[in-house]
Amino acid sequence: QVTLKESGPVLVKPTETLTLTCTVSGFSLSNDRMGVTWIRQPPGKALEWLAHIFSNDEKSYSRSLKSRLTISKDTSKSQVVLTMTDMDPVDTATYYCVRGTLWFGETPTHYYYSYYMDVWGQGTTVTVSS
């Protein structure tokens, strides 16, 4: 059974750095095509894609938040860590880690990606307040 579980602080102060850990089980972070994505959802608002780490350790970030985000993994510990610097009250949200399957294909005329998020963690709520 594949599971992902987020952990981290419930409350952070403005300007602080948030560090969230996602511990996975049931699959390896080195499995081809399988990576981990972080998604967040402010209260009452839509989901927002944040970052993805590939099985080969490549990283991808939301363009709007790239300067504040770092994603990394420790395959031996089955953990993925997301850090977000300079936290602000608008960053108050539920943060989800998700198993993201991503693979790349080619045709004679173009290449294409298949990307989907098939197993979600329960989410962890982070409040930014002084």
Binding site for another protein (CB under 8 A): 37, 39, 46-49, 52, 60-63, 96, 100-102, 110-123
Q: How far is the CB of 14 from another protein (least distance, A)?
A: 25
Residue 96 tokens, joined: 């989800």
Taking the CB of residue 39, how many other CB atoms lie within 10 A of it?
A: 21
Our CB check for another protein shows the closer of 81 and 121 to be: 121
Q: How far is the CB of 16 from another protein (least distance, A)?
A: 25
* Stated length of the chain: 130
Q: How far is the CB of 29 from another protein (least distance, A)?
A: 17
Our CB check for another protein shows the closer of 15 and 114 to be: 114
CA-to-CA distance for 4 and 26, rounded, in angstroms? 9
Our CB check for another protein shows the closer of 27 and 115 to be: 115
CA-closest candidate to residue 8, choices 52, 38, 31: 38
CA-to-CA distance for 113 and 111, rounded, in angstroms? 7
Q: How far is the CB of 66 from another protein (least distance, A)?
A: 9
